[in-house]
Amino acid sequence: MQWFAQAPSNIALIKYMGKSDEAHNLPANPSLSWTLKHLVTSVSLEKIPGRKDRWEPLETPGSAPFSLSKSAETRFLEHLSRMKAYFGHEGAFVVRSSNNFPKGCGLASSASSFAALTRCSVEALCELTGRETPSVEEQAALSREGSGSSCRSFYSPWALWRDETVCAMDFPCGELFHQVLVLSHEEKSVSSSEAHRRILTSPLYAGRTQRAEDNLKTLIAALEHNDWAAAAQTAWREFHDMHSLFETASEPFTYRTPEVRNFLNQLEMHWQDTGDGPIVTMDAGPNIHLLYRPDQTGLARALMQDKWLGNCDVL
Ligand code: PMV
């Protein structure tokens, strides 16, 4: 017996950084993300004899072979165990997964991976136990236990997550176009679980919850009123806030490398010169995410053809 499911990634403009409850991945502050429908993880589950689950890459014709680090594989299998315990099922599976986007390109794949594994195991375990399919809310809450940011991947086009509640949001800006400037292909040296812990030691952490709340309020108002410049300004302030926490922790780390700063300066200059531009954000990695309105595709194309910011890989 086999099951298959997919789930998208998401990029937060108001960041989830810091937990109020580490055991259940409850966030210290609310976050707001845009769902990246085109960047997906696929997961399949196959029933096997015995009690021990195992992970394998999912072969997808035409894609590069997919791999997971030992620790990522363990975390993934632990989430499958959590799902099985929730449904009271003890049988074993081989779980296969792959992403349709390259590794090390600055995309947090944990959001799409955990959301896809949750969906696929819900399908399998409902069929095997005869239980009813849990609601989307319940599935998002289960997924959150594996990876916090994955709970937002169940909602689109935008997702708002506060405490135990996630909901979809929509704004008049329409379908956004997403690009990543891939400035480093290296694996992250500080995991996001570790980042959530380290930032608590920053002197800037005091007041962080309030700053995130303020940024969220301003961003929602800007998006509701189609005030793109105010939305971009708020997203800019917000990711710099998270990166300042990283750099001022007692064990500091940084993703704002000289190359990243150079690209950020160019983006800032573009905004200053033209009064317009993409929304810019950075996740926990040395790569820059850009979101464009539907009428800005010319600008996005110019960037891909190296006519705008200079040479870098664009995804
Ligand atoms: O879901 P986690 O624990 O991998 O946290 C990810 C947090 C950030 O990606 C850095 C920000 C966010 O809100 O997605």
Nearest CA to ligand 1 atom 10: 284
DSSP class per residue in the chain = -EEEEEEEEEEEEE---SEEETTTTEESS-EEEEEEEEEEEEEEEEEESSS--EEEEPP-TTSPPP---HHHHHHHHHHHHHHHHHHT---EEEEEEEESS-TTSS--HHHHHHHHHHHHHHHHHHHHH-PPPPPHHHHHHHHHHH-GGGGGGGS-SEEEEETTEEEEE--TT-SPEEEEEE---SPPSS-HHHHHHHGGGSGGGTTHHHHHHHHHHHHHHHHHTT-HHHHHHHHHHHHHHHHHHHHHSSS------HHHHHHHHHHHHHHHHHS---EEE--SSS-EEEEE-GGGHHHHHHHHTTSSS-S-EE-
pLDDT in the model for residue 107? 76
Closest atom of ligand 1 to 11 CA is 14
pLDDT in the model for residue 121? 98
pLDDT in tens, the chain (315 residues): 899 999 999 999 999 999 999 999 999 999 999 999 999 999 999 999 999 999 999 998 767 788 888 999 999 999 999 999 999 999 999 999 999 987 766 676 799 999 999 999 999 999 999 999 999 999 999 999 999 999 999 999 999 999 999 999 999 999 999 999 988 777 778 988 899 999 999 999 999 999 999 999 999 999 999 999 999 999 999 999 999 999 999 999 999 999 999 999 999 999 999 999 999 999 999 999 999 999 999 999 887 776 566 666 777
Residue owning tokens 């961003």: 219
pLDDT in the model for residue 308? 62
Q: How many CB atoms are closer than 10 A to CB 223?
A: 22
Record the tokens describing residue 6, joined without a space: 């997919």
What does pTM read for this prediction? 0.95
pLDDT in the model for residue 36? 96
Closest atom of ligand 1 to 114 CA is 1
Burial class (CB in 10 A: 0-12, 13-18, 19+), 21: exposed
What residues does ligand 1 touch, defined as CB less than 6 Å away? 12, 15-17, 31, 108, 110, 147-149, 192-193, 283-284
Residue owning tokens 């997964």: 97
Q: How many CA atoms lie within 13 A of 296 on its CB side?
A: 22
Distance from the alpha carbon of residue 293 to the mean position of ligand 1, in angstroms: 24
pLDDT in the model for residue 106? 65
pLDDT in the model for residue 164? 97
Distance from the alpha carbon of residue 192 to the mean position of ligand 1, in angstroms: 6
Residue owning tokens 């105010």: 230
**How do beta strands 92-99 and 177-182 pair?**
unpaired
- Ligand 1 pocket test, pick from 14, 41, 149 with the greatest ligand atom count within 8 Å of Cβ, gives 149
Distance from the alpha carbon of residue 13 to the mean position of ligand 1, in angstroms: 11
Q: Alpha-carbon distance 39 to 131, whole Å?
A: 30
- Ligand 1 pocket test, pick from 192, 215, 241 with the greatest ligand atom count within 8 Å of Cβ, gives 192
pLDDT in the model for residue 129? 97
Distance from the alpha carbon of residue 114 to the mean position of ligand 1, in angstroms: 12
CB 115 within 8 A of CB 97: no
- Ligand 1 pocket test, pick from 11, 16, 21 with the greatest ligand atom count within 8 Å of Cβ, gives 16
Distance from the alpha carbon of residue 265 to the mean position of ligand 1, in angstroms: 25
Distance from the alpha carbon of residue 195 to the mean position of ligand 1, in angstroms: 9
Distance from the alpha carbon of residue 281 to the mean position of ligand 1, in angstroms: 13
